[in-house]
Chains A and B, each alone.
Chain A
Amino acid sequence: MHELSIATSIIEIAEEFAVKNKGANITKIEIEVGELSGIVVDSLEFALELAIEKTVLERAKIIITTIKGMARCKQCGNEYVNSDWHTACPQCASMDFDITGGKELQIKSIFIE
């Protein structure tokens, strides 16, 4: 359940944000979670639900967006979906690739009013 520590970090960042913005009321927070980030979105959601009580996120709408794992083939340059770290290039079958997306684990935006 490291999702719990991730949830705690999200709340910490939001609380710091609220302080910096003079106690602004956070209405919504957008979070991006890559498929290769090592985070299970359902567990994160569950953890957040428990953890936000009595915090600045208590009444905020929480939007979690999943980002596909992506790789670029070093042999033929093809860019393709690689959701498990070890998908060969569908164009040339090479396993020689760079991961170009899907490791994200970030707070994208915070909405205040």
Chain B
Amino acid sequence: MCDTCGCEGDSPVTYNKPNEEHSHDEKHEHTHEHPHHEHPHHHDHDDKHHSHDPKHEHGHSHGKEIKIEQSILTKNNSLAERNRGYFEAKNIFVLNLVSSPGSGKTSLLERTLKDIGQDLNFYVVEGDQQTMNDANRIAALKVPVIQINTGNGCHLDAEMVNKAVKQLNVANDAVLVIENVGNLVCPSLFDLGESKRVVVISVTEGDDKPIKYPTMFHSADICIINKIDLLPYVDFDVEKAKNYALSVNHHLKFFEVSVKTGEGMEAWYAWLKDVEQHK
């Protein structure tokens, strides 16, 4: 966000493939004049469904009311549906990987690509605010990848994925893994058109993560509990974490893994290879 006014305009989203020079910027028009006039906002944090502004009941009218009843996420949702249609037509299985920063999304991907990269045709979209680091880690494994840098944006959205996927040129019948920006809050609201949403937590985080960030756990299909090699050193109760997660979403399916030692990875691979079944 820019320091002057808090807008996102100053940091364009960029799309880069490792070892390619140019980047495709989305140009944002932006000026920094902020004249200060008054804007009379007012809000009610009312518990009732229909709150009317009491101060204005008798004052001047606000004109003619036109019912809109339109979801604010309409634009993203319809673009996500368009992505989904495209993926379905090309029989591409798409995962949206979300987690707090550092839970091990890229490590999980790297190990997965090393272990079963021969069996499935993988493509990767990396989302981070800055750097090509994660894309470079994937490119080192000779897997096609594109890095989206969101600048100050805290999540990927359907439009970014749409643009990235066009540049990636994903083959039919492939598996596309989208690693979202490390953040357990914002990405939960933005459908990308994925087939399944995978939330990763690591045992170095609290076991109450699922109820601290319920919106994300509610929206996910799969929950991977990573870094179980560290269980002897931390107070993380796996059963408790699972029960918390189930309390916000009883459809969640779990994998307990250590990307480092490889423990538990076979079950995850079996699920992935069975993609046809959960498309």
User: Which residues on A are within 8 Å of B, measured CB to CB?
Assistant: 1-2, 4-6, 8-10, 12-13, 17, 21, 25, 27-28, 31, 36-39, 41, 45-53, 58-59, 61-68, 84-86, 95-96, 105-113
Contact = CB atoms under 8 A, between A and B. Distances in A.
B173 interface: no
Interface stretch (B68-76, B81-89, B102-110, B267-275): B68-76
Contacts, number: 153
The main secondary structure of chain A at its interface with chain B is mixed
Contacts of B249: 85
The main secondary structure of chain B at its interface with chain A is loop
B189 interface: yes
Interface of B: 1, 5-8, 34-35, 37, 39-51, 53, 56, 61-76, 152-155, 157, 185-186, 188-190, 211, 214-215, 218, 244, 247-250
Given A2-B154, A5-B153, A50-B5, A113 B64 contact: yes
B72 A105 contact: yes
Q: Which 10 pairs show the lowest CB-CB distances between chains A and B? A: A113-B63, A2-B186, A85-B214, A86-B247, A38-B215, A28-B62, A85-B248, A111-B62, A27-B62, A62-B41
Given A84-B211, A113-B62, A66 B46 contact: yes
A105 B73 contact: yes
A9 B34 CA distance: 20
A2 B8 CA distance: 11
Given A84-B214, A111-B63, A63 B1 contact: no
